[in-house]
Amino acid sequence: MSKVAKNIVDRVNQLRREIRGHDYRYYVLDAPTIPDAAYDRLIGELRELEKHYPDLVTEDSPTRRVGGKRATEFAEVRYQLRMLSLDNAFSAEEVAEFDRRVRDRLGDREIEYAAEPKLDGLAISLMYENGLLTQGATRGDGEVGEDVTQNARTIRAIPLQLIGKDFPPVLEVRGEVYMTTAGFDELNRRQLAEDRKPFANPRNAAAGSLRQLDPAVTADRPLGFFSYGIGVVRDGNLPKRHSEILVKLQAWGVPVSPESATVHGLKGCLDYFHKLAGLRDGLPYQIDGVVYKVNLLAEQERLGFVTRAPRWAVAHKFPAHEELTRVIGIDVQVGRTGALTPVARLEPVFLGGVTVTNATLHNEDELRRKDVRVHDTILVRRAGDVIPEVVSVVLERRPQDTERFEMPTQCPVCGSEVVKADGEAVARCSGGLYCPAQRKEAVKHFASRRALDITGLGDKIIDQLVEKALIRHVDDLYVLTAEQLAGLDRMGKKSAAKLMAALDKSKQTGLARFIYALGIRSVGEATAAALASHFGTFEALMSADEETLQQVPDVGPVVAAFIVSFFRQPHNRDVIAKLRECGVRWANVTPARSSVQPLNGKTFVLTGALAGMARDDAKARLQTLGAKVSGSVSKKTDYLVAGADPGSKLACAEKLGVVVLDEPAFMVLLAKHS
């Protein structure tokens, strides 16, 4: 290399170091040392050098943030560790209840919490490999998100390369993309100047900006980023506290909220909440509450999670914004599960950044308690700053001619009987598989991975099939033709053939899967497995009365009533008969010989990949045998089933003395008790 060429290489490397240092001071430390104009000159010089010497361009160069091609759609990203959502608390009493539950499980002592502002933005996952950003993905449903890597690269607050050398070889950073209040105001001024519709609020603007198919549009939007934690980590040593991990992330060049703090006990949490509430309006970005997390990672592991939310964290939401408006009508909506929900139609009112025209009345009991009537003046709020709901009626403004609203006794959509179990607040349509209001969601549930697992039958395809009247009920799926499928948007002959093959494959299923696929109220995977194990045949289940059903473990009077009501409806029986005529079949199972199942009272945890069966199938097999399947290892765990790449749960189990089964030993156990 000539002396001149070496000078150029040295200058390019120097410019990159300087620019990354300025990015770190600006986005991470919030302490810039040069004006924007000087920063722009550094970027300009580097861009010119890379233009004349393209061999020196690297993917992590600060000039390479914008450059991705316009996408036609976002690819799916399946998370190795699910992105959990948080339970909400709306009062000090609910926070106290959260703290009590934590102390009940960890010991009655003052708990150390990490406290952070809850940004009103869009969750994102950033994967770093050897310090380089390789993937960015939206949260999606927590299990599958959208690949927005090119868009994430345009956000200057997101480092393309981590600082230092002590970061793990693989590190997943999780956080929130947001838009500053000033940036939002400026963006809307530009929208109006260009005769475009302004955005309703910064959150919508941030979400819309991140999900642009053209990365150049995202780059033009004033987006920021704060990390709130990590996901997958491989071959790295991290601190033992969440708060210390945030400090570590900051040292690696990842921005974290400067308002994050460590607090102690319930009082510390509530003091932090009141402090942030006072700062809320003065912050440069919008927050809708604060988050409390048990600080010690070992204690987080002990607490585990329930369904899709961790037991060790809660979001304490700020009071909702409220306004007065008038009720112009009351309608009844029918949901996927048949729930009848009264909804107040309102005179439009601007509330929390959006125009609200409807507000939920939740259920008949709530409607009666609040006594909401047509023409009433009401106080409406966005619960948790999201869902509009009626708070109360302003009785002094009530007209004299108002009448109480009566809930229908028949489904307003299909005419089926409306049932309401004793002790339940929600009335439901018993039409099940037949009701058109439940049609799309019933088909989506039927085709889902844990039900009949019809690969390729996604939401958009189902929407088209229903909207084009190609299917009315789930049995219509099995009389579709390849020609009909090929005529759908984004479906050619090859895709249609694959879907036809998937439909044919789904006809051979298991009894528990089929029961779950029917979407009977309160019959989840575990209950479906218990029903299959107890009755052995579908005919025995269909003919069972409520008393017989209650002999099944975990089936009480409410669930038994739902099952009987479902099978009592002729529409549902007709659909099931047609499914069988179309070839849907399953093997009967040997009914449990006694009410005491062989693994009753045993707790299992699954980790790693099993070669012989899917994790969901392994879980269902264990539940059929009476076992409880948990998501985290604790002293109460009896067995850990360890497949390939078991992760940290294996080390935890060995430390606690939990019995570890490899896959062959697990298969022997299943065979022994089946």
How far is Cα 544 from Cα 563, in angstroms, rounded to an integer? 9
Beta strands in 250-353 (DSSP E): 261-264, 287-294, 305-306, 309-310, 313-317, 322-334, 340-351
Beta strands in 384-507 (DSSP E): 387-393, 418-419, 428-429
Is there a contact between 269 and 316 (Cβ–Cβ < 8 Å)?
Answer: yes
Rounded to 10 deg, the angle between the 615-624 and 663-673 helix axes is 30
What is the DSSP pairing of strand 628-630 with strand 603-607? parallel
CB atoms within 10 A of CB 49: 17
Is there a contact between 268 and 275 (Cβ–Cβ < 8 Å)?
Answer: no
- The two counts, helices (H) then strands (E), for the chain are 24, 26
Is there a contact between 143 and 78 (Cβ–Cβ < 8 Å)?
Answer: yes
CB atoms within 10 A of CB 73: 9
DSSP 196: -
Is there a contact between 327 and 376 (Cβ–Cβ < 8 Å)?
Answer: yes
Is there a contact between 626 and 601 (Cβ–Cβ < 8 Å)?
Answer: yes
DSSP string, 371-419: T--TT-EEEEEEETTTEEEEEEE-GGG--TT-------SB-TTT-PBEE
Options 3, 51, 69, 118, the catalytic residue: 118
* Coil, helix or strand at residue 522: coil
Indicate if 460 belongs to the active site. no
CA distances 395 to 343, 372, 399, Å, are 19, 10, 9
How far is Cα 554 from Cα 572, in angstroms, rounded to an integer? 24
H/E stretch holding 209 reads helix 202-210
Active site residues: 118
